[in-house]
Amino acid sequence: MSERPRLTVLSGPSGVGKSTVVAHMRKEHPEVWLSVSATTRKPRPGEKHGVHYFFVTDEEMDKLIANGELLEWAEFAGNRYGTPRRAVLDRLESGELVLLEIDLQGARLVRESMPEAQLVFLAPPSWEELVRRLTGRGTEAPEVIERRLAAAKIELAAEAEFDTTLVNTSVEDVARELLALMRVV
């Protein structure tokens, strides 16, 4: 009997390029299933229920949490986000490659509930590059940038908690390396 694939979790500091890497990999390899999170926030224009997020009420989220139906969940900017457990397990059981793109807190919670999961840390080429990416948008107030940089320092310090580190020097290379890691059973 062949082993089922391990759940792969991609995490790393804000601004490191997680969603860019995932988008590139999914374009090249649509067979990789990206978990869709449940959230209590309202849909933004163009977002579709079940595609971008499962949009749920606070009461529905309370039930999901109480019934242990989420692998991990967190509150961010006044809204809650979580990963539905059943969908992830079903996809893994059917032999699919499953990827979660979540924050550090979420990655730690997945490690607790699924110790066999593979945690991959996406690191910037350098601290200077991360600062450039976080400040380069020019759209955030200085205090928001300071908060993001402080959070990034904490997130970078957690790198040792992960099974593997990939350095984001090239989106194409990192996407290829991530896929290779996912294919190892």
Residue 163 domain-assigned? yes
The token pair that represents 94 in the structure block: 């059917």
Domain holding 33: CATH number? 3.40.50.300
Residue 14 labelled as part of a binding site: yes
Residue 88 labelled as part of a binding site: no
Residue 16 domain-assigned? yes
Question: pLDDT digit string (tens) for 36-94?
Answer: 999 999 998 999 998 889 999 999 999 999 999 999 998 877 899 999 999 999 999 99
pLDDT level of residue 1 (50, 70, 90 thresholds) = very low
- Per-residue confidence (pLDDT) for residue 55, from 0 to 100: 97
Residue 2 domain-assigned? no
Residue 185, CB-side half-sphere exposure with 13 Å CA sphere: 9
* Residue 168 or residue 15, greater confidence: 168
Residue 82 labelled as part of a binding site: no
What is the pLDDT averaged over residues 134-144? 79
pLDDT level of residue 3 (50, 70, 90 thresholds) = low
What is the pLDDT averaged over residues 157-183? 95
- Per-residue confidence (pLDDT) for residue 5, from 0 to 100: 80
Residue 15 labelled as part of a binding site: yes
Domains held by the chain: number: 1
Residue 12 labelled as part of a binding site: yes
At residue 59, the 3 state secondary structure works out as helix
Residue 3 domain-assigned? no
Read off the pTM: 0.87
Residue 124 labelled as part of a binding site: no
Range of the domain at 153: 8-183
Residue 81, CB-side half-sphere exposure with 13 Å CA sphere: 19
